[in-house]
């Protein structure tokens, strides 16, 4: 894995880089200052880009747009809750994850795994990030996992917060049938429950 870390060279950043390199064999992490990265006009490709929200906080809107133009690979944002991370989410393309900078190591590594597999991961409820779940619903990824059109339809409703009863009413199918579909979805995606998907609900406090 070749990762790009955009941030300042400090103990926190070096610690994060050390965690990545010690947990992924044959991995390398390139640390770059955001402004210098933009000046270099780099077109290098990385497996994943990790951006420190603290460094973004000092960048201008113009730089955010230019940064977005230079990145063509999935991005994980490390932010603090009081930072304007929703603005970053709107202005930088290819963001597949927004997580708390001080989250647990296990959650951080799992976020990288999910993103590299084509998924999305957040420390906050998706409803606080996007009004329309379809914007982060990766249909191609789910299809590659063997989900049928019906299963993807049900999955999308689940990610929007719909209950079995609500899905049953919308699709004119029994709740037992919906439950069976959901079991198939979990099996095909290789997970045990829906909260393990790419949305981490705020009330779960997974990164406290």
45 and 108 housed in the same domain = yes
At 48 the three-state DSSP class reads strand
99 and 154 housed in the same domain = no
160 and 114 housed in the same domain = no
Q: How many CB atoms lie within 10 A of CB 121?
A: 21
pTM: 0.61
91 and 168 housed in the same domain = no
77 and 157 housed in the same domain = no
User: What are 120-141's pLDDT values in tens digits?
Assistant: 888 765 445 444 444 456 677 6
**For residue 37, is it within any domain?**
yes
User: What are 178-189's pLDDT values in tens digits?
Assistant: 999 999 988 887
Q: How many domains does the chain have?
A: 2
Q: Kindly calculate the radius of gyration of the chain based on its CA atoms and give it in whole angstroms.
A: 18
CATH of the domain at 100: 3.40.50.2300
165 and 80 housed in the same domain = no
């Amino acid at each position: 894995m070749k990762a790009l870390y955009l941030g300042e060279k400090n103990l926190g950043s070096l610690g994060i880089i050390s965690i990545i390199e010690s947990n992924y064999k044959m991995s390398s992490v390139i640390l770059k200052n955001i402004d210098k990265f933009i000046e270099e006009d780099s077109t290098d490709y990385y497996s994943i880009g990790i951006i420190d929200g603290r460094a973004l906080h000092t960048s201008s809107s113009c730089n955010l747009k230019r940064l977005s133009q230079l990145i063509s690979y999935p991005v994980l944002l490390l932010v603090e809750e009081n930072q304007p991370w929703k603005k970053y989410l709107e202005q930088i393309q290819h963001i597949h994850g927004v997580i708390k900078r001080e989250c647990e190591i296990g959650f951080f590594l799992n976020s990288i795994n999910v993103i590299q597999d084509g998924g999305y991961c957040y420390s906050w409820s998706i409803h606080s990030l996007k009004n329309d779940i379809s914007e982060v619903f990766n249909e191609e990824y789910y299809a590659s996992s063997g989900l049928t059109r019906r299963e993807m339809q049900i999955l999308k409703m689940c990610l929007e917060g719909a209950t079995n009863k609500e899905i049953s009413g919308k699709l004119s199918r029994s709740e037992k049938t919906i439950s069976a579909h959901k079991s198939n979805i979990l099996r095909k995606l290789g997970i045990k429950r829906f909260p393990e998907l790419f949305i981490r609900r705020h009330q779960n406090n997974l990164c406290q």
